[in-house]
């Protein structure tokens, strides 16, 4: 059984796992970067007093929350590309789906944070002549976004872990690489799956645990 651990040292198997993990992280970080920008804008829009705007944004939010990410991946990569005649790369499709998800989640967090800003802050800003965009830029958003940093870090963590789904649309990420290594060495190393998936778990842990720890420390510091 322990001899099957040798599969990690054969060829470039371990290096391939690291490259696959890098693909997962790249997709998550690209999606998160776009989500931060779009989610902040969406949160500001969601805080609008207009009922029409609230209905539209809440419909989008609930649609994304209810729909599993795997279904969204299939819709974007298979159905949307076929319907519109697009030749969409699987990684791009993954970034689009995770950005849609992250934008919805962050937008709702930003909305809640904006609405939690005390009323007297608006009144004080108005007394100083700060209105419109300047009000959001200098008063509301700095207070609201500070408390959102831990939640944003946690969402990044969730994205990294959820990227395992992208293997189902052909992206060669860490779990896909692990499966390829297991299949290629099934007869030579019968128990290789135990060690391969153990290493995958360890890699995810080494990436995600420090992120979770940072989020917890920031939450304790700013609570």
Give the model's confidence band at 2: pLDDT under 50 very low, under 70 low, under 90 confident, else very high. Answer: low
When mean pLDDT is compared over 29-38, 187-196, 208-217, the highest value belongs to 29-38
Q: Is the pLDDT of residue 146 over 80?
A: no
Query: What pTM did the predictor assign?
Result: 0.84
Burial 171-203 (b: 16+ CB within 10 A, else e): bbbbbbbbbebbeebeeebeebbebbeebbeeb
Tokens encoding 143: 């207070």
What is the pLDDT, as a whole number, of residue 30? 95
77: domain CATH number is: 1.10.3720.10
Domain span at residue 86 reads: 2-222
């Amino acid at each position: 059984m322990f001899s099957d651990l040798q599969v990690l040292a054969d060829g470039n198997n371990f290096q391939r796992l690291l490259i696959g993990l890098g693909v997962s992280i790249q997709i998550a970080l690209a999606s998160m970067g776009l989500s931060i920008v779009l989610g902040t804008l969406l949160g500001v829009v969601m805080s609008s007093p207009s009922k029409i705007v609230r209905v539209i944004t809440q419909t989008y939010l609930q649609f994304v929350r209810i729909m599993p990410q795997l279904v969204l991946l299939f819709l974007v990569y298979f159905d949307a590309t076929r319907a519109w005649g697009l030749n969409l790369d699987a990684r791009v499709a993954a970034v689009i789906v995770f950005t849609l998800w992250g934008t919805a989640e962050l937008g709702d967090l930003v909305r809640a944070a904006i609405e939690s800003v005390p009323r007297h802050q608006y009144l004080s800003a108005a007394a100083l002549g700060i209105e419109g965009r300047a009000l959001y830029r200098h008063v509301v958003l700095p207070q609201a976004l500070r408390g959102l940093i831990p939640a944003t870090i946690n969402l990044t963590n969730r994205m990294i872990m959820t990227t395992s789904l992208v293997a189902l649309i052909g992206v060669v990420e860490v779990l896909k690489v692990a499966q390829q290594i297991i299949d290629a060495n099934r007869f030579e190393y019968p128990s290789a799956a135990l060690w391969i998936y153990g290493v995958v778990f360890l890699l995810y842990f080494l990436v995600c645990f420090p992120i979770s720890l940072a989020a917890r420390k920031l939450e304790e510091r700013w609570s």
